[in-house]
Chain A
């Protein structure tokens, strides 16, 4: 052992494994990122439900072309449980719809987040299973991530739960102890979310490189010209007249998706790729008329950030805002990071 240790910079696999396991078991990571994703998913769902309010019965209710009988034969037979099986009535469909809306609001504001995450998932899943024709990739990703979020602490920040526990602490209540299994589950859930987003980008890009149109750089033209995704034909017609724009954006889309997982290991890759992928999703949302897909994707991209980066961004935004508004500059926190971490843990249930 001592001979090995004396050799310069030999990696000790046991120490490496131990530090990896301790990363999982000692402290909850990414609580700020999870809280941001909670707010993002919740708000996007509220937005989606409000926009679909006038047509809800035609998609998920009694007037749906995907009839209740068809749903019972296909979705249920396909192994997709849903609360919609209990009744075919329009009233019941409305009850579930508005229950989901309320759950989405409570999820966003972080009220009893542990329980509400499960309620929100069950109701959202039920709605999506009721009419599989009306879902898209953003729904698919968010409902998988929500399964992992059930195991995580997603209400530690910017939530009513955090407010309540801060009040309790101020009133002198003792700090709640963190359950080790809860910490392990939380960190495993964080890794699962990150891995799931990487699976999406890796799969999506690797299937694209096999396609002839992605290889010859014209794929974007065909996408922009497809009537189903052409909300602004005047604008897209201008875009696709420029070969350099079409070819550049086609290749960029593939390269950005292929390389995005590198953002996890290299800060330069992150600084370049993350803004590009955000730009890509915003362009998809606006030009192709897919706002909810776009929002779910943008929110999911937050898993590439760390809590430290979220904190830095918050300080930066706050000071920029105070400069713009000319008010009193927000004091930059001078408390050592370790204390921050401790207080973040204290907020934990």
Chain B
């Protein structure tokens, strides 16, 4: 800085031109990054296509870690299958097996994510749909829907939300088919998925070691394509 006077007299050099270019790229990139991670605002909505194109897929990111609020319930995933008219046994509990892999294990493998992410993704994709304005306009009673959303409701939804939901359903159906096959040795024609949610005791009842409130919700019987079985 002290000797900058001389340099300022002949300010334009090739390294400085290159540095200006790099500074411009950084400003552009982190401008887009800001719009990508910030909550939707008039500027990000206007520039959404450009931001999406720039950030996806290599700079995609989401840092809502335990935010705005951490989940305050446990989610369990159970599945069962059938072939033709024949049942392939009762519900198989996928989550407990994963929790047991993690319990008292300082370095658990990544397998547990595949079950917990599947049920969390299904719940959050469903939540996004039933709270969407265009869905609520077409289907006012959307909030009372079960895990598996009706075709009428999906048709009213924006494409991106619909696709996200259908993909989570496909993923969870595949998870179920694999689990039933592993358990029974038979590939099922149809599977049923049960998501158990367990609101554990609130802060004021934290001394309560019990399970708290347990609720569950089932999908109808679904084929491998994620279509409802009509009987």
Contacts and interface: CB of A to CB of B under 8 A. Distances in A.
Interface of A: 12, 14-16, 18-22, 24-26, 47-48, 51-52, 54-55, 58-59, 63-67, 70, 73-74, 78-81, 125, 129, 131-137, 140-141, 143-144, 147, 180-181, 183-185, 187-188, 191-192, 195-196, 199-200, 203-204, 207-208, 210-214, 218-219, 221-223, 225-228, 231-233, 237, 240-241, 286, 289, 291-292
A181 B19 CA distance: 8
Interface in B104-125: 104-114, 116-118, 121
B143 to A, nearest CB: 20
Contact of A231 (B18, B30, B108): B108
Given A203-B37, A289-B108, A191 B113 contact: no
B7 A18 contact: yes
Nearest to B39: A207
A134 B171 contact: no
Contacts of A136: 113
B174 interface: yes
A185 B178 CA distance: 47
B59 interface: yes
A275 to B, nearest CB: 20
B39 to A, nearest CB: 8
Contacts of A192: 26, 29-30
Nearest to B61: A140
Contacts of B42: none
Contacts of A181: 18
B98 to A, nearest CB: 8
B70 A226 contact: yes
Contact of A289 (B67, B71, B106, B117): B106
A232 B63 CA distance: 25
Nearest to A225: B200
Interface stretch (B84-92, B128-136, B150-158, B201-209): B201-209
Given A66-B171, A240-B206, A241-B207, 4 more contacts: A22-B7, A144-B59, A210-B68, A214-B68
B198 to A, nearest CB: 8
A223 B22 contact: no
B67 A204 contact: yes
Contact of A133 (B34, B67, B121): B121
Contact of B109 (A21, A25, A55, A222): A55
B40 interface: no
Nearest to A292: B110
Contacts of B113: 133-136
B93 interface: no
A210 B70 contact: no
B62 interface: yes
B20 to A, nearest CB: 6
A292 to B, nearest CB: 8
A320 B114 CA distance: 44
A15 to B, nearest CB: 4
B121 A231 contact: no
Given A15-B5, A180-B15, A219 B70 contact: yes
Given A200-B63, A210-B68, A18 B114 contact: no
